[in-house]
Amino acid sequence: MKKIILTGGGTAGHVTPNIALVPALKEAGFDISYIGSKNGIECELIRNVGIHYYAISSGKLRRYFDLKNFSDPFRVLKGYNEAKRILRFEKPDVLFSKGGFVSVPVVLAAKALHIPAVIHESDMTPGLANRIAAKGASYFCCNFPETLKLLPEGKAVLSGTPIREELFHGSLESGRSFTGLTDDKPVLIIIGGSQGSKAINDAIRQSIICNSDNSSESDNSAASYDNSGLLADFNIIHLCGKGNIDERLTNTNGYLQYEYIGEELPDLFAMADIVISRAGANAICELLALKKPNILIPLPLSQSRGDQILNAKSFEKQGFSYLLEENNETVSTEQLEKAVHNVYANRDSYIKAMNESSSSDSIKIIVDLLNKLANK
């Protein structure tokens, strides 16, 4: 049986495309293992899929000063040696990397052992980890046509991003049963990423609390927020990130908050009329594939290298998304409310643009490349 090692981690966006590949890889006859960090989100996500998981040391490669810059190179070196031992033991035919800093020592170890590798970049511009790992890659897959000119000649492949098949099979009835939302109000879902977004969380909650008749009273019972702000017109499902539950809004009618959603996510997407999201490439490609009208609030330059801004502007230009920018680490509640009502009123035009978009079978393209390398 052919063997493959998958790697990637740090955020869910560096893991879910790997998970999307698993059924097709198994069908193609691959035995699959995974190398990730010891404490990253990939550890839990991959073990839930039932794939053998190896944990290695990892460190972040930063562009700014931090005391950890002195210690993290040693963690990366330790991770490189650990990855080498794992690869020698597993003897994979090929490696696939979705990026993130944990992937760098794995790809470089594979290169040292002459194991062919395919790496994938979802954002418009390659991240630092993938730029370093590119030296050890046979192919460099990407998501945007604009990215091709930035990649090593002879390695670049426009593949698109693998989308989890289960997202297309959500059940509206199962979603209603899970959430208890059974009225006819349209459903607004907020996704701030696996870490959550304070700016987006605050804007949504201010819409509810500040528009309440009881907003100035000392009694902030949850019931006092029913039908205020965006809740007057929408049911809200808020994926707010770990540790970000707001107890003031617990039991508010029409407002549900979750730190993280797993297997129920397809059912929640089936319910969604509008989605508010950060603009990570994997997330927006899922919204495009599901044809969900959306408002994108990209990470600002103060918190990122600007890739989400480029992603969001590309989707706005193509008519897939409404772009709302964060300023000074805040999102205007007034502008957000206007955006939600605007997108809902014009939802058919967004859906039409998404239906007319050209999309490739990214899973087939990537698995074909992996098969080609494994069979050499």
97-111: pLDDT as tens digits: 999 889 999 999 999
- Work out the average pLDDT over 159-172: 94
- Predicted local confidence at residue 218, as pLDDT: 46
Q: Is the pLDDT of residue 334 over 50?
A: yes
Token pair belonging to 150: 């930035």
- Work out the average pLDDT over 157-180: 95
Name the nearest CA neighbour of 292 among 354, 237, 359.
Answer: 354
Q: Is the pLDDT of residue 262 over 90?
A: no
Decide if 117 contacts 138 (C-beta within 8 A).
yes
Q: What is the mean pLDDT of the chain?
A: 90
- Work out the average pLDDT over 19-35: 97
Which of 61-75, 182-196, 234-248 is least confident? 61-75
Q: Is the pLDDT of residue 153 over 80?
A: yes
| The model's pTM | 0.80
Residue 76 banded pLDDT, cuts 50, 70, 90: confident
Query: Which pLDDT tens digit goes with each residue over 194-246?
Result: 666 889 999 999 999 886 665 544 455 445 677 778 999 999 999 998 889 99
- Predicted local confidence at residue 279, as pLDDT: 93
- Predicted local confidence at residue 158, as pLDDT: 93
Is 180 exposed, middle or buried (CB count within 10 Å of its CB: 0-12, 13-18, 19+)? exposed
Which of 3-12, 220-229, 325-334, 343-352 is least confident? 220-229
- Work out the average pLDDT over 251-255: 92
- Work out the average pLDDT over 179-186: 94
Which of 202-211, 286-295, 363-372 is least confident? 202-211
Residue ranges of domains in the chain, CATH in brackets: 2-160+360-374 (3.40.50.2000), 166-355 (3.40.50.2000)
- Work out the average pLDDT over 16-25: 95
Q: Is the pLDDT of residue 68 over 50?
A: yes
- Predicted local confidence at residue 255, as pLDDT: 95
Token pair belonging to 328: 């000074």
Task: Between 280 and 138, name the one with better pLDDT.
Answer: 138
- Predicted local confidence at residue 329, as pLDDT: 81
